[in-house]
Structure 1
Amino acid sequence: MNQTSDDPRNEMTSPEALPSVDDFEAIRPYNDNEVVATLARLVRNDEFIDTITRYRLPRLARYAPRVARALARHGLRRAVRNIHTVGDFQNHISHYMARMIQNTTNTFSVEGLEHLDHQRAYLFIGNHRDIALDPAFVNYALYHSGRSTVRIAIGDNLLQKPYVTDLMRLNKSFIVPRSARGKRAMLAAYQQLSNYIRHSIVEDNHPIWLAQREGRAKNGVDRTDSAIVKMLGMARRMKDKDAPVSETIAELRIVPVSISYEFDPCDQQKARELKARNDGVAYEKIAYEDILSIAAGITGDKGRVRLVFGAPLEGDQDSYDSAAQEIDRQVLENYTLFPSHYLALEATGHAPELVDTRDITPADRQAFQRRLEQVPEELRPWWLSQYANPVLNRAGREPL
C-alpha cells in the first residue's frame, strides 16, 4: 500500500526526533568561525571544481579535464586565501555581482531604500522571478548603501549538492524545510523557521529576505501566499497565544519588495513547464534543473532591472490575509512595466486598451522581436503570457 505524507507511519514518532523550535543549528547560515574550513572543503570538492571549469574553461575542460581541474583549483585557492569571515566572502562576491550587472543588464536601478531606517532590520518580502538573483539584487542594493545584507530564505529542495549548500550558507542563506514528512514533523519545522526569522529581526536586528510564495511566479502573476504570512506569526503565538495579529505583523517590520526584469533568462524553460502543465502532462525536472536555472539567470541577458523597496507594514493589519493583501498591493504598485510587457500583451491580441506604446522605441521592438524569434512556435503563447500577465495583473484583469 502506498504511504502518503499524511500517513502516521511517515511521521517521526519520538518527540526527541523532532527539531527543537529554538535550535537553529541545522538551518542557520554559517558563522565567521566556519568560513575558512568551508572554503577549504569547496576547494577540495571535485564536483564544484568541474562546475567552475565548465563555465570558465569550457574548451580545456572538454579536451584536457585534468589540466582544467588543476588550473581551476589553483585559481580558487588563490581567490579565497584572504577570505576569513562572511563579510570577506560577500565583499569578494560583490565584485562578481558588479561584473554580472555590467555584462548582463542594460541598467539596474533602486528606489525606496532611502525611506527606510538605516539602523533597523526589516523582513523584506518580495516577488519571486529568479532563484538566486532576486535576493542577490536586494543584497547588492543594501551593500552599496552601507546597510547589513540579508539572511536569505532558501528551500531545501535547492540544496541537492553539498557544495551548493556550502555556498548558500556562506552567503547568509538559511534553510526553509520542504522535505519534512508527516504533519508533526512539518509543524515543528515551520515553528523552528518562524522562530528563527523572528529571532533574526527582533533579537539580532538582522534583516531577512523571503519570497512572497513558494517557488517562482513562472506565469508572471505575483501573489502572496497568506499561509507564509501566517507561518511568520507562529513564533509570537507560541509565546502569547492571545497576541493581536497587528502587533505580530508590526514587530516583524515587513517591507514589500518588487523586482522587475525586462527579460527573464529562464523564460523558455518556464514556458516549457507552463505548457506541459496546461496539456495535463506531468512536468519532470531534469537532473539539477534548479542549479542550471541559477546559472542561466546569472549569465543570461536581463535588459533593464528595477528594484523598489516599499513602506513597512504598520500595526493596522487585523488579519494575516489583510497583511498578504497589503504586500500584494505594494508589489503590484511598485512593479515596473517595461516595453517587453506591453509588446507581449500586444502580440497576444488581448486587452489592446491596456497596451501603452508611448515610450516604446523602434529599438525596443527590435530587441523584443529578436528574442521572440528564438522561442519555438509551440511555446510562444506561454512565453508571451509571462510578460503580458503583469500588465493584466496591474489592471486587475484575469491572467492569460
Structure 2
Amino acid sequence: MLKSQLKNIHSIEGYQEIFKSLMDQMIKTSISNLEVEGISNLDSKSQYLFISNHRDISLDAALLNLSLNRAGHKTFNMAVGNNLMKEKWASDLMRLNKSFIIQRSGNKKEIYMGLSLASQFIQHTILEAGESIWIAQKQGRAKDGIDETDPAMLKMIHLTERKTQSLGQYFNALKVVPVSISYELDPNDCLKAIELNALDQNKNYEKSENEDLISIANGINGQKGNVTINVGQPIMCNDIDSYEVVANKISKEIISMYCLHPTNFAAAAMLKTEHQCIHQFTDEDISAAKDLLSQRMVNLDDGARLKFLNQYANPVIQKSSSI
C-alpha cells in the first residue's frame, strides 16, 4: 500500500501528506497521550530556528513538525548527520522530508566545507526563503538523558555571518526558539544503555551496519507512553554574548520546560538519588513505573542497568540542579 502511494508522489508536499497519515497512525498505536504546549505563542507567518534537545533520531523533529503544521505553520527544514545518509533510500526519503546534512566525517577540509555549507543553508532558509529550521542542541542523541547545548553547534550556525554580525545580533534575527521534548518510555533505552556501558568500560563499540536504521524503526514502532513537547519563545541575546553564554541560555530553557514523567522519578528512587523536584504522581504511579523499568532492563547486566536507570533519572537531577 505504501509503495503504491509513493509512486504517486510528485512533490515534497505530496510526500508530506502521506507522512502525516503515517505519523497519525504511529501516534495512535504507540503514544498514550501527546501534549504540545507553547505553539500558540508563535506567529504562524514567521520563521524560526528551533533548537531542541534530542532523544529519538526521527521523532523529535517529526512530532514537532506535525504539531506546528497542524497549527498553521509551514513545515520546517531539519538538520541530520551524514551518518544517516549511508542507505540511499533513507537519504532520498530524508531529502524529500526537507532534511539537510551536517557533515560529521571526512578530513578537516571536508568537514569545514560541509559545516560552512550548512551554515549558509540555515541563513538562506530563514532570512531569505522564509522557512524555519530544526536542529538538535548538540551532535547526536542525549543517550544519557543529560541535555546540554554545544557551543560548537552555535559556532557552526554563526559561521557564515561571523565577520559581519555579532552572535547576539545574528541569533536575534534568526529568532532562536528552544524546544524540550520528553518521552515517558524510550523504545531504545536498552540499546543506549548497552552502548554507554561498553564505552564506559573502554571497550570498542562499533555500530552495526544498520544500527541507526534499527533505532529509527524501534523509535517509531515502540511504546512511548506519554510524550510532551514544550515550545519556548525566541530568546533574546546581547551583542557581547559568547557562544557559551548563549548555549547556557538555551540549555536553561530546555531544562526548565522539560516535562518529567513517573518513569523519571521511579528511576531516581531506584538509584536513591536525592532531588528537589516536586511532582503530583501517586505512590501507585511511581510503583508501577518501577515495575515497568525493572521489566525492561531484566536482560541487562549490572553496568548496563545503571546506565539504563541514569538515562531516566538524569533529567530529574538536571532539573533539580536548576531550581
Calculate the TM-score normalised by the size of structure 2. Answer: 0.94
Q: Distance in 1 between matches of 2:17 and 2:83?
A: 27
Aligned mate of 1:341, from 260, 264, 278: 264
Decide whether aligned partners of structure 1 residues 77 and 302 sit closer, same or farther in structure 2, where only a CA change above 3 A counts: closer
Q: Which protein has greater RCO, CA pairs closer than 8 Å, 6+ apart?
A: 2
Question: Which residue of structure 2 aligns with residue 27 of structure 1?
Answer: none
Q: Does the alignment pair 1:323 with 2:246? A: yes
Q: Distance in 1 between matches of 2:227 and 2:189?
A: 15
Decide whether aligned partners of structure 1 residues 289 and 243 sit closer, same or farther in structure 2, where only a CA change above 3 A counts: same
Residues 116, 159 of structure 2: 8 Å contact kept: yes
Aligned mate of 1:139, from 62, 65, 68: 65
Residues 342, 356 of structure 1: 8 Å contact kept: no
Q: Distance in 2 between matches of 1:229 and 1:176?
A: 13
Question: Which residue of structure 2 aligns with residue 314 of structure 1?
Answer: 236
Aligned mate of 1:220, from 138, 145, 167: 145
Q: In the TM superposition, what whole-angstrom CA distance separates every residue of 1:223-280 from its partner, at most 9, and x where no partner exists?
A: 000011011111112xxx2522221111111101000101100000000011111112
Residues 212, 228 of structure 1: 8 Å contact kept: yes
Q: Distance in 2 between matches of 1:319 and 1:222?
A: 19
Q: In the TM superposition, what whole-angstrom CA distance separates every residue of 1:6-43 from its partner, at most 9, and x where no partner exists?
A: xxxxxxxxxxxxxxxxxxxxxxxxxxxxxxxxxxxxxx
Question: Which residue of structure 2 aligns with residue 178 of structure 1?
Answer: 104
Q: In the TM superposition, what whole-angstrom CA distance separates every residue of 1:149-188 from its partner, at most 9, and x where no partner exists?
A: 111101111111111101111111111111231x233222
Aligned mate of 1:230, from 155, 167, 179: 155
Decide whether aligned partners of structure 1 residues 350 and 144 sit closer, same or farther in structure 2, where only a CA change above 3 A counts: same
Alignment of 1:62-211 (within 5 A): 75-181=1-107, 183-211=108-136
Decide whether aligned partners of structure 1 residues 331 and 206 sit closer, same or farther in structure 2, where only a CA change above 3 A counts: same
Decide whether aligned partners of structure 1 residues 357 and 312 sit closer, same or farther in structure 2, where only a CA change above 3 A counts: closer
Q: Distance in 2 between matches of 1:118 and 1:149?
A: 11
Residues 262, 289 of structure 2: 8 Å contact kept: no
Q: Does the alignment pair 1:248 with 2:170? A: yes
Aligned length: 318
Q: What secondary structure is seen at the aligned counterpart in 2 of 1:217?
A: coil
Q: Distance in 2 between matches of 1:316 and 1:156?
A: 33
Decide whether aligned partners of structure 1 residues 161 and 242 sit closer, same or farther in structure 2, where only a CA change above 3 A counts: closer
Residues 155, 178 of structure 1: 8 Å contact kept: yes
Q: What secondary structure is seen at the aligned counterpart in 2 of 1:259?
A: strand
Q: Distance in 1 between matches of 2:164 and 2:6?
A: 50
Aligned-partner residue type, residue 98 of structure 2: K
Aligned-partner residue type, residue 161 of structure 2: R
Displaced runs of 4+ in structure 1, greater than 3 A? 353-358
Residues 263, 293 of structure 2: 8 Å contact kept: no
Instruction: Let me know the Cα RMSD of the aligned residues.
Output: 1.6
Q: In the TM superposition, what whole-angstrom CA distance separates every residue of 1:72-109 from its partner, at most 9, and x where no partner exists?
A: xxx34422344221111111111110111111111001
Q: Distance in 1 between matches of 2:245 and 2:151?
A: 9
Q: What secondary structure is seen at the aligned counterpart in 2 of 1:201?
A: helix
Residues 47, 130 of structure 2: 8 Å contact kept: yes
Aligned-partner residue type, residue 18 of structure 2: H
Residues 50, 133 of structure 2: 8 Å contact kept: yes
Unaligned segments of structure 2, at least 5 residues: none
Q: What secondary structure is seen at the aligned counterpart in 1 of 2:202?
A: coil
Q: CA deviation at 1:365?
A: 2.6
For structure 1, which segment, 289-298 or 354-363, has the greater mean C-alpha deviation from structure 2 after superposition?
A: 354-363
Question: Which residue of structure 1 aligns with residue 219 of structure 2?
Answer: 297
Decide whether aligned partners of structure 1 residues 104 and 77 sit closer, same or farther in structure 2, where only a CA change above 3 A counts: closer
Q: What secondary structure is seen at the aligned counterpart in 2 of 1:233?
A: helix
Q: CA deviation at 1:367?
A: 4.4
Q: Distance in 2 between matches of 1:242 and 1:200?
A: 18
Unaligned segments of structure 1, at least 5 residues: 1-74
Percent identity, please.
37
Aligned-partner residue type, residue 285 of structure 1: K
Residues 151, 244 of structure 2: 8 Å contact kept: yes
Residues 83, 89 of structure 1: 8 Å contact kept: yes
Q: Distance in 2 between matches of 1:368 and 1:105?
A: 19
Q: CA deviation at 1:391?
A: 0.6
Aligned-partner residue type, residue 233 of structure 1: H
Q: What secondary structure is seen at the aligned counterpart in 1 of 2:179?
A: strand
Q: CA deviation at 1:363?
A: 4.8
Aligned-partner residue type, residue 298 of structure 1: I
